[in-house]
Amino acid sequence: MQHDKILILDFGSQVTQLIARRVREAHVYSEVHPCDVDDSWVRQYAADGRLKGVILSGSHASVYEESTDRAPQAVFELGVPVLGICYGMQTMAQQLGGRVEGGHKREFGFAAVRARGHTPLLRDIADHTTPEGHGMLDVWMSHGDKVAEMPPGFKLMASTDSCPIAGMADEERRFYALQFHPEVTHTRQGRAILERFVLDICQARPDWVMRDHIAEAVQAIREQVGDEEVILGLSGGVDSSVAAALIHRAIGDQLTCVFVDHGLLRLHEGDAVMEMFEGKLHAKVVRADASERFLGELAGVTDPEAKRKIIGREFVEVFKAEAAKIKHTHSRHVAWLAQGTIYPDVIESGGAKSKKAVTIKSHHNVGGLPEQLGLKLLEPLRDLFKDEVRELGVALGLPPEMVYRHPFPGPGLGVRILGEVKKEYADLLRAADDIFIQELRNHVDAVTGKTWYELTSQAFTVFLPVRSVGVMGDGRTYDYVVALRAVQTSDFMTADWAELPYALLKKVSGRIINEVRGINRVTYDVSSKPPATIEWE
């Protein structure tokens, strides 16, 4: 790759990845690395001349004094522009001879910032102008400490009532720093500010475009694989689908996709995957129909984690057996296992050493497969963010409905049927869920012009194995209950239940109760995450 690049050093803020995404939205390639890389790493990273600028992120620590993380000093000696954000500003100030003051009340939320000094970073960027003619920005702040004294060479670039030094700049060395967060969408001009930094100040070439990336990625896959064969586990999800389409574009019949159908997919999903990849793309796809095997293993099991383990284990077994068959029947050497790993899966975050994630749910994990199968790993999406994967998918000709789908968990309907999984339940759930999704796609919101499928991040139906009494015609029914779940979220770590219009809920419940014999009651889940999770199990 010959792209110019921006280095983002991560001090552990939850929104560091947003910085990288904003930079890439300006079509400049960027990478996130932990803040504790050393000087020689930084110099090596810059050695090929492609590094055009560095951004220091915020931190997970709310106060500067809580953290001992500092930027490698080499960052300030490379001769490229540096932008410090929040904690990144504070460490820049401290490391270059200024002073940070602690013990302040935490400032969190919107703030009005006055731009000062007409620096190249903020010049002509404003949300409004005061009667005196000062440019004002509406920004998002989240900090405790602040810079009390600027380092030598810096001038004031922005201030708020409670934070007199909310931005500072050394125009000669092209060092800039902001106490507020330009990467979050609450800062309305944030995108313009980051664009200004990478395009005008760093002069990075805006050549990171997914349409053009295809040729580069195809070339890289061909070089890596040579004339060997590749196996890929196709799930029907966005990442594996785009990976399959890309690899197929590169090496055609040297790719064999294995699609394990565990019988816990949505309505017609298996057929749709086959139709797309085998029918339209003419890729080689082996469909392993293992639904009986999965349902057999799940019989009598009610604990959610036990169900996940069984589904994960069986998936690996079925996949391994199919891969072994392919290895034996192919004339050429099967040497590669392809996976749809994406950039957020591989980013190593900084400043997080003390943070320990708690496992709430064990995710469907197929790690260790390449070693067990004796295959090398091919991961053509590992530099891409999810939105880039989607763009690439569309550029490769995959249908937008497939590429912009809501996420679907690996264990599938296995964790959406509460308690024991039975085929009868799965069939009822599939029918009900299909109606819900159809209606979400049919209902357009008058204000935004978007469908409710687009306005929600994830929506699905949950099967509750309890029966309630109903009346239909002249008769009494005693049937099952389903719950509808629809959430809005940007990161799936927290989520709000979606305020779906009553008319939509009414249509869905009417259709499910009338069309799905065996369900006579529909409920809507109004729990946010936390404390509830998105899935029910």
Binding flag, residue 205, ligand XMP (CB under 6 A): no
**Distance from C-alpha of 87 to C-alpha of 11, rounded to nearest angstrom:** 8
Binding flag, residue 282, ligand XMP (CB under 6 A): no
Paired strand residues for 481: 464, 521
Q: Using the rule CB under 6 A, which residue among 43, 191, 364, 376 binds ligand XMP?
A: 364
The residue count for binding ligand XMP (CB under 6 A) is 15
Which one from 27, 35, 183, 439 is the annotated catalytic residue? Answer: 183
3-state helix, strand, coil in the chain (%, to 5): 35, 25, 40
**What is each CA distance from 122 to 57, 117, 179, 251, in whole angstroms?**
19, 9, 14, 47
183 labelled catalytic: yes
Q: Does residue 40 have a known ligand-binding role?
A: no
User: Which of left, alpha, beta for 247 (phi over 0: left; psi -120 to 50: alpha)?
Assistant: alpha
Helices 238-251 and 386-395: angle between axes, nearest 10 degrees: 50
**What is each CA distance from 80 to 86, 174, 204, 488, in whole angstroms?**
20, 7, 11, 39
Which one from 35, 86, 202, 257 is the annotated catalytic residue? Answer: 86
Q: Using the rule CB under 6 A, which residue among 458, 461, 509, 520 binds ligand XMP?
A: 458
5 φ, ψ to 5°?
-140, 155
Q: Which of 60, 85, 107, 90 is CA-nearest to residue 8?
A: 85
Least spacing, CB of residue 523 vs ligand XMP, in Å: 18
Tell me the chain's radius of gyration from C-alpha atoms: 26
Q: Which is nearer to ligand XMP, 219 or 365 (CB)?
A: 365
Residue with tokens 């810079």: 147
Least spacing, CB of residue 507 vs ligand XMP, in Å: 24
Residue 311 contacts by C-beta under 8 Å, 6 or more apart in sequence?
262, 264, 294, 298, 364, 410, 411, 412, 414
406 labelled catalytic: no
Binding flag, residue 108, ligand XMP (CB under 6 A): no
Q: Using CB under 6 A as the criterion, what x/- string covers residues 484-523 for binding ligand XMP?
A: --------x-------------------------------
Q: Does residue 468 have a known ligand-binding role?
A: no
Binding flag, residue 363, ligand XMP (CB under 6 A): yes
Paired tokens of 417: 């049927």
181 labelled catalytic: yes
Angle at 400 between CA 396 and CA 405, to 5 degrees: 115
Q: Which is nearer to ligand XMP, 161 or 496 (CB)?
A: 496
Q: Using CB under 6 A as the criterion, what x/- string covers residues 307-326 for binding ligand XMP?
A: -x------------------
Binding flag, residue 529, ligand XMP (CB under 6 A): yes
Q: Does residue 433 have a known ligand-binding role?
A: no
Our measurement of the distance from residue 439's CA atom to the centroid of its chain's CA atoms, rounded to an integer in Å, reads 26
Q: Does residue 238 have a known ligand-binding role?
A: yes
Binding flag, residue 525, ligand XMP (CB under 6 A): no
Binding flag, residue 534, ligand XMP (CB under 6 A): yes
**Distance from C-alpha of 103 to C-alpha of 89, rounded to nearest angstrom:** 17
297 φ, ψ to 5°?
-65, -30
Subset of 396-435 contacting ligand XMP (CB under 6 A): 407, 409-411
Which one from 27, 181, 213, 248 is the annotated catalytic residue? Answer: 181
Least spacing, CB of residue 515 vs ligand XMP, in Å: 25
Q: Which is nearer to ligand XMP, 327 or 529 (CB)?
A: 529
Applying CB under 6 A, which part among 35-43, 132-140, 169-177, 358-366 lies near ligand XMP?
A: 358-366
User: Contact residues for ligand XMP (CB under 6 A)?
Assistant: 308, 360-361, 363-364, 407, 409-411, 458, 492, 529, 533-535
* Residues noted as catalytic: 86, 181, 183
Residues of each annotated binding site for ATP: 235-241
